[in-house]
Amino acid sequence: MKIAVAFNTPFSGYTHDDHVAQMEHEFDEREPEMEYQVGYALEQNGHTIRYAGIRDDVNAELDSLREFGPELVFNCAEGFGDQDRLDYLLPALLEAEGYNYTGSPPLALMVTRNKGMSKKILAHHGVNVPMFRTYRSGDPVVEEPDMPFPLFVKPLRMDASMGIALRSVVKDADALAERVKFIHEKIGGAAIAEQFIEGRELYVSLLGNGDDVEVLPIGEMVFGKNVDPTERIATRTAKWDKAFRKKRGIKNRIANRISEQSRQAIEEACLTVFKVLWLRDYARIDVRLDADGEPWVIEANANPYLNEDHEISLSAAKHGLNYYELIEKIVQTAVAREK
């Protein structure tokens, strides 16, 4: 197939050939960016690809797509320009141009990025979610929320653990006010304070559409035995700082020791999330499993990160799909959906 790999890029004026050179450089020097890993996998699977990195000149990239005439666009956009919260704009442009593309549609991307809105929808459909309260940009904390401390405070519309640190877990009203103010002033945008669920940090990846959605083996972030329960959270350092991970005994692995009852409850909840939030092709749901074996859906990730060593790829490998096979599965899922 002819497949375009569309993504937001920091490079202005780059052509397909420029991106090929950049890809080769990154493979030589470091772990390449997701779009290049996806593009390389597509080529290894026998497809003809065109890199479409969009930054300032949208019209030029759309003209390039029209010239290439892709049968499918693999959407790797994580934002638009320099703004992560505008990740829905590129698929909206692709829809306007009539292209079939991988992953969730704009509405699903907008709803899942707003953690308060998505929790309201999930609660309406009977999914177990933490109690929460949102604070628009500039709104101070003027009273204690009607929720038990500790609370977990984070940006309302950001992902990739942006704005999440050990101080995100607050134990009183003063700490809540301070952290909300930090989100407003240092991170930017609205904040959400939600009930802190003490328990295991699980990642549930799904593939498919309609009645044919597969739940992949459940992933987990585990922490060292001496780490306090309120510090067992997926901060940016916990995810990507190798020295910090080693010090804290943090590892990502396939979860074990989950009872069959809890596993069924997790899968049922995540399948509901996939359906009611209009997710498509693939997704990852972040879940907390408390001491009683009850799952709590923390948030849904439409179009989760697809690097070879990240959660959905690790779960797919346990399921019997190597990275190239996972990328091909997503391609064929999107093609079958369109047909």
* pLDDT tens-digit map of 317-334: 999 999 999 999 999 999
pTM of the model: 0.95
Amino acid 184: pLDDT: 97
Q: Indicate the average pLDDT of the chain.
A: 96
Percent of the chain whose predicted confidence (pLDDT) is above 90 = 91
Please give the pLDDT value at position 84. 87
Asked if pLDDT for residue 81 goes beyond 90, the answer is no
At 56, the pLDDT band (50, 70, 90 cuts) reads confident
Q: What is the mean pLDDT of residues 98-102?
A: 98
Output the pLDDT for position 271. Answer: 98
Q: Is residue 129 a contact partner of residue 119, using CB atoms and an 8 Å limit?
A: yes
**pLDDT at position 160, please?**
79
Q: Do strands 72-75 and 2-8 pair parallel, antiparallel, or not at all (unpaired)?
A: parallel
Closest CA to 38 of 61, 19, 12: 19
Q: What is the pLDDT of residue 321?
A: 98
pLDDT band for position 140 (50/70/90)?
Answer: very high
Could you give the angle at the alpha carbon of 116 between the alpha carbons of 187 and 126, nearest 5°? 150
Which residue type occupies 243?
A
Mean pLDDT (whole number) for 262-267: 98
pLDDT of 154 over the 90 cut? yes
Q: What is the pLDDT of residue 273?
A: 98
The pLDDT, as a whole number, for residue 30 is 87
Q: How confident is the model at residue 14 (pLDDT cuts 50, 70, 90)?
A: very high
Q: What is the band of 108 on the pLDDT scale with cuts at 50, 70, 90?
A: very high
Q: How far apart are the first and last CA of the chain?
A: 15
Q: What are the tens digits of pLDDT across the range 200-245?
A: 999 999 999 999 999 999 999 999 988 999 999 999 999 989 999 9
Is pLDDT at 83 greater than 90 in this prediction? no
Among residues 191, 145, 154, the alpha carbon closest in space to that of 172 is found at 145
Give pLDDT, residue 224: 93
> In 3-state terms, what secondary structure has residue 167?
helix
Q: Is the pLDDT of residue 133 over 90?
A: yes
Out of 59-63, 260-264, 286-290, 333-337, pick the least confident: 59-63
Determine the average pLDDT of the residues in 130-137. 97
What is the predicted pLDDT for the residue at 339? 87
Query: Which candidate, 210, 203, 245, 239, places its Cα nearest to that of 224?
Result: 245
For the cut 90, the answer to whether the pLDDT of residue 128 exceeds it is yes
Instruction: Give the Cα separation of 156 and 134 in Å (integer).
Output: 7
| Residue entry with tokens 């959660």 | 311
